[in-house]
């Protein structure tokens, strides 16, 4: 156990160890209700791919991963001389930081849906989007199509057309209106709409 504590207090792991202690203190205060989790990762971290989750979660993931990776590097460098340890320790620090940022970016992606704070999705969001017909045909009283929302999810919706266009399975159509009484979308072939 003494070797573990020595490794956590040796360069480069000591830098992340200090940050990890701050993170643990923050989360303990959060659990006790003394402080709230902040809203979003902000513009800078959003540009790095961490947007859509609270800043503290993105930073905590980065710090924990960086600490672990730098700790592994510190243990591997333990037998080297002081000059070599400092030079290679700096390299380990940079590699640990870059890898921590990359892995955090991967981990944040599925968390975005958990922390989604925008307006609730509505059927009106589909108006203006293209869809793909999934039934054999679309008529004035029958039809279904698959449409993709802005967040990448897809939905199969009821669709109808007013004309005698030949809309068949696999064809693209444009959703241009929603009928609240019938709970279906009005569609037109994409080619027809582009000609108008």
Q: Is 147 exposed, middle or buried (0-12, 13-18, 19+ CB in 10 A)?
A: buried
Instruction: Tell me the per-residue pLDDT of 62-106, one tens digit each, with 9 for 90 and over.
Output: 999 999 999 898 888 877 777 777 888 889 989 999 999 899 888
Q: Which residues pair with 156 in a beta bridge?
A: 146
CATH number listed for the domain at residues 123-195: 2.40.50.140
Instruction: Tell me the per-residue pLDDT of 39-55, one tens digit each, with 9 for 90 and over.
Output: 555 555 666 677 777 77
Stretch (H or E) spanning 61: helix 55-76
pTM (predicted TM-score): 0.55
């Amino acid at each position: 156990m003494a070797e573990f504590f020595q490794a956590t207090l040796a360069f480069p792991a000591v830098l992340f160890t200090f940050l990890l202690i701050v993170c643990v203190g923050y989360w303990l205060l959060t659990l006790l209700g003394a402080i709230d989790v902040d809203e979003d990762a902000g513009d800078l971290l959003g540009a790095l791919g961490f947007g859509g989750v609270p800043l503290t979660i993105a930073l905590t993931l980065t710090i924990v991963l960086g600490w672990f990776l730098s700790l592994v590097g510190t243990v591997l460098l333990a037998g080297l001389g002081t000059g070599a340890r400092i030079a290679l320790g700096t390299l380990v620090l940079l590699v640990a930081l870059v890898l921590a940022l990359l892995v955090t970016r991967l981990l944040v992606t599925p968390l975005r849906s958990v922390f989604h704070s925008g307006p609730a999705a509505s059927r009106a969001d589909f108006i203006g989007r293209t869809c793909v017909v999934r039934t054999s045909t679309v008529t004035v009283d029958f039809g279904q199509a698959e449409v993709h929302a802005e967040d990448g999810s897809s939905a199969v919706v009821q669709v109808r057309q007013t004309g005698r266009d030949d809309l068949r399975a696999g064809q693209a159509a444009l959703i241009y209106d929603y009928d609240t009484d019938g709970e279906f979308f009005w569609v037109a072939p994409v080619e027809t709409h582009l000609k108008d």
